[in-house]
Structure 1
C-alpha cells in the first residue's frame, strides 16, 4: 500500500506495530490516554520510553520498507502538461525556461523593452545562484494539504524560480499576474520509495549525521509526532496540520512514477 501522509489510515497500522515493538503496549496505552497541547510533546513522550538513536533507527527501517506519495505543485502551460505526462518531471534547467517565459510574458506592457535581458536574468537566478538556488532541482511536499493550503504560492504563481526571474526582470510584482493567468495549477502525485524520501528530506545533512547531532531526523519526527498526537487525539485530522515537510531531488521523475496529474480543484 502506498502511504499518503495526510491519510492516516494508510500508515497508522504499520507505524503502530513499529511503536509497540519500540516501547511496548503499556506505553502506547498511556499515550492514548494522554492530553498534549503541542504535537512535539506527543512525540517526545514516546522517545522518553527509549532513546533518540533507537527510535530513529526503527523509524528509518520503517521508512525504507514502504512506498510513499509526494506532491509537486506548479502552474503549467497546456503543452507542458502533456510533456509531464509523456516524459515525467525534470530538474530545473534555467536556459530551458526562456521559451515558456517568453510565451507567458509577451503581453506585458514592458516586455518588448526588457525582453533582451531575459537570458541574463535566467543566468543570474539559475546557474549563478544569485537568488532562489533552484537550478538542477525538483521539489516535493510530503503533505498535499500543506502544499495546497499552507505554502500555496507554487499553485498561485508557479515555480519560485519563475517568480524570482519575473520580479528581477520587471523590477516589481507586475509580471506575477501573467504567471497566474496564462497557466493551469497542477499538483503532480509521485510515487517514491522510502530511501528516496529519506535522502530528499535531508539534502544537506544525512539521516545518520542528524542522529549524531543528538536529534531525531526531520522526516522521522514528522511521522512520529503526527502518529503520537493522533493516537492521543483520535478526532484530530492530520491534514489540518498543513505540514511543511519538503524534499528535493536532482534526478528526473519518470512518467511511470507519476500517479496523477491533478488540476487544482479537479482532475486533468
Structure 2
C-alpha cells in the first residue's frame, strides 16, 4: 500500500515538473516572439508616420506656395506630429549670378532661405524654397515635391522664399503652421551664364533635382552650383519674405 502511494506521489511530482517545464518554454517563446516582433512593429509604425508626414508636407507646400505666387495673402495648415518636432529653422541660402548684355558679371539675388522641418524618428521632412524634401538617417535626401523653378525658351522664373520666425513644437498631436507675406518680382533682361548656388543641409536633394531638369548642368561642389545652358533670356526672381509660425 505504501509503495502504491509512493509511486503515485512520484507521478504527481513528474506531472508538476512537466507542467512547469511547458509553462517555462511557453513564457520563453512568447518573450522571444515579443523581442523579435517589437522592432518590426515599431519600424512599420515609424514608416507609416513618415509617409503621413510626407503627404502632409505636400499639402503644406501647395498651400504656402499660393502665398508665394500671390494667390493668397496667408495660409494656415494643420500637421499631425508623432512624438518628434516641428520647427522653422536652418540657415540655407541661395545665390544667383549671371552675365549681362555688356558681359559684366552681376548678382541677381543673394538671400537666406531657411526651412520648415518635421523630425520623425531620425528622418527629417522639410519644406525649403517651395519644394519638399526628405532626408533619411543615412544622409540621403530625396525630392518629394518639386520647387517652382520654371524654365521657358527665353525666360526663367525662380522663387526665392525667406522664412522668417523661429518657432517650434514638440511631442504628439496636432500643430498648425501659419504663413503670410506679399511676393515681389524683379526682372533681369537679356542675361546669360546663369548660375544658381544653393547652400543647404539638403544639398544632395537639390543636386538630384537639377540633374533631372532639362538645360541645367549637374551641381558641382558641396554647395550645389547649377548652370543654366541658355543665353540672352529674361530672369524673373519671385522673392517673398514669409512670416512663418508654428503653434
Q: TM-score range by the shorter chain?
A: under 0.3
Say which one has the larger Rg.
Answer: 2
Which of the pair is proportionally richer in helix? 1
Structure with the larger strand share: 2
**How does the TM-score come out when normalised to structure 2?**
0.22
Higher relative contact order at CA 8 Å, sep ≥6: structure 1 or structure 2? 1
